[in-house]
Amino acid sequence: EGASGALDRMAPLCPLRGSGSRRAPWFTEELREMKRQKRLLELRWRASNSESDRSLLRAFIRTYLVAIRAAFIASTESRPTALFMVTRSLLNVRGAGEPLQGRAEQFVQFLSDKIARIWTDRDSDWAGPTKMKGADLSPVLWDEFESVTPENVDRAVGVMSTST
């Protein structure tokens, strides 16, 4: 009883959940009934192939989709993050570009221009050892820096861990 009792206290046996998929919490009994009615209307339209049954089915599908969207939005329960995710999924924003896409491209252009300016300034200063331009910095000469080769960079990167 000692080991078995301790095991029962630490990890009691719990009944397994029933197999099958879990239902979405926002999919209420009312929506289930509407889905059943939609299937019945569709079955009737397919059997009769009449325009009146088809128009009834289409009107009911519109009503059903409005009810689903309303329940889906109401399920967010005043959680702004969930509300925006639901709204985004309902609007099918997947196809649209990211909202920061234009800003990212502007930043890439700015950074490219900045690097080009640095290179041109460096090339013009490279002729002779001159001081770097800076606000209230101590005078630094280019000769004081060690030159770095691509092999040195590869060796340094190889030593680094992925977390740095």
pLDDT tens for 63-89 read 999 998 888 878 777 677 777 777 777
Residue 23 CB-half CA count within 13 A: 8
What digits encode the pLDDT tens for the residues 7-34?
Answer: 777 676 766 666 656 677 778 889 999 9
Question: Residue 34 has what pLDDT?
Answer: 94
pLDDT at 130 over 60: no
Question: Residue 136 has what pLDDT?
Answer: 46
87 or 151: which carries more pLDDT confidence?
Answer: 151
Closest CA to 42 of 51, 32, 34, 54: 54
Query: Is residue 147 one of the residues assigned to a domain?
Result: no
Task: Copy the structure tokens of residue 70.
Answer: 């309303």
- Overall domain count for the chain: 1
Tokens 């190889």 correspond to what residue?
158
Query: Is residue 78 one of the residues assigned to a domain?
Result: yes
pTM to 2 decimal places: 0.41
Query: Is residue 1 one of the residues assigned to a domain?
Result: no
Q: What is the C-alpha separation between 159 and 2, in angstroms, rounded? A: 53
Query: Is residue 3 one of the residues assigned to a domain?
Result: no
pLDDT at 58 over 60: yes
Domain that holds residue 55: 27-89
40 or 80: which carries more pLDDT confidence?
Answer: 40
Query: Is residue 105 one of the residues assigned to a domain?
Result: no
What digits encode the pLDDT tens for the residues 93-119?
Answer: 555 555 555 676 777 788 788 888 887
- Backbone dihedral angles phi then psi of residue 131, each to the nearest 5 degrees: -80, 145
Question: Residue 59 has what pLDDT?
Answer: 95
Helix (H, G, I), strand (E, B) or coil at 6: helix
Question: Residue 84 has what pLDDT?
Answer: 72
Task: Report the alpha-carbon angle 8-11-15, nearest 5.
Answer: 95
113 or 41: which carries more pLDDT confidence?
Answer: 41
Task: Copy the structure tokens of residue 29.
Answer: 């009994």
Query: Is residue 153 one of the residues assigned to a domain?
Result: no
Closest CA to 89 of 24, 162, 151, 2: 24
Query: Is residue 75 one of the residues assigned to a domain?
Result: yes
